[in-house]
Structure 1
Amino acid sequence: MNYRLETTAPNTPDDVLAAFLTLDDPARRNALSDALLDQLSALLQQAASDPRVRVIVLTSSHPRIFSAGGNLDAFADDRATIEKYAGLSRFPALFRTLTGIDKPIVCAANGDVLAGALGIALACDLIIAKDSIRLGCPEINVGAFPFMISALIFRATGRLVANELMMTGRLISTAEAAAAGLINKVVPDDEFDDALRRWISEIAAKSPLLLGMGKRALAATRDLPLESALDYLQAQLALAFTTDDLPEGVRAFKEKRPPQWRGR
Structure 2
Amino acid sequence: MNFENILFEENDHIAYITINRPSKLNALNKATINELHEAFVSAEEDSDIKVIILTGSGEKAFVAGADISEFADFSAEEGKRLAAEGQEKLFDLVENLSKPVIAAINGFALGGGLELAMAAHFRIASDNARMGLPEVSLGVIPGYGGTQRLPQLVGKGRAMEMIMTAGMIDARQALEYQLVNHVTTPEELIPLAEKIAGKILNNSSVAIGAAIKAVNSSFRNDVNGYEVEIEAFGQSFGTEDFKEGTSAFLSKRKANFPGK
Question: Do these two structures clear the TM 0.5 threshold for a shared fold by scoring above it?
Answer: yes
Q: 1:186 to 1:256 in 2, by over 3 A?
A: farther
Structure 1 spans left out of the alignment, 5+ residues: 8-16
Alpha carbons 1:136, 1:169 under 8 Å: kept: yes
- Separation in 2 of the partners of 1:207 and 1:167? 42
Deviation at 1:62, TM superposition (A): 2.2
Q: Does 1:173 pair with 2:184?
A: no
Alignment match, 2:26:
30
Alpha carbons 1:34, 1:90 under 8 Å: kept: no
- Separation in 1 of the partners of 2:240 and 2:164? 50
Q: Does 1:5 pair with 2:21?
A: no
Alignment match, 1:191:
188
Residue deviations 1:176-215 (CA, integer Å, cap 9, x gap): 1112121111112232232122111111221111111111
Q: Single out whichever of 249-258 and 192-201 deviates more from structure 2.
A: 249-258
Residue type at the aligned position of 1:117: G
| Structure 1 moving runs of 4+ over 6 Å | none
Question: Which of 48, 51, 59 lines up with 1:52 in the alignment?
Answer: 48
Q: 1:159 to 1:249 in 2, by over 3 A?
A: same
- Separation in 1 of the partners of 2:77 and 2:222? 37
Residue deviations 1:79-102 (CA, integer Å, cap 9, x gap): 555555443333211122112211
Residue deviations 1:82-141 (CA, integer Å, cap 9, x gap): 555443333211122112211111111112111111111111101111112111112222
Alignment match, 1:122:
118
Alpha carbons 2:53, 2:193 under 8 Å: kept: no
User: If the length of structure 2 is used for normalisation, what is the TM-score?
Assistant: 0.90
Alpha carbons 2:207, 2:236 under 8 Å: kept: yes
Number of equivalenced pairs: 253
Q: Percent identity?
A: 27
- Separation in 2 of the partners of 1:119 and 1:51? 27
Q: Does 1:87 pair with 2:82?
A: yes
Q: Single out whichever of 244-253 and 129-138 deviates more from structure 2.
A: 244-253
Alignment match, 2:99:
103
SS in 1 for 2:102: strand
Question: Which of 160, 163, 170 lines up with 1:163 in the alignment?
Answer: 160
- Separation in 1 of the partners of 2:115 and 2:75? 26
User: If the length of structure 1 is used for normalisation, what is the TM-score?
Assistant: 0.88
Q: Does 1:235 pair with 2:231?
A: yes
Question: Which of 146, 151, 173 lines up with 2:148 in the alignment?
Answer: 151
Alignment root-mean-square deviation, CA: 2.0
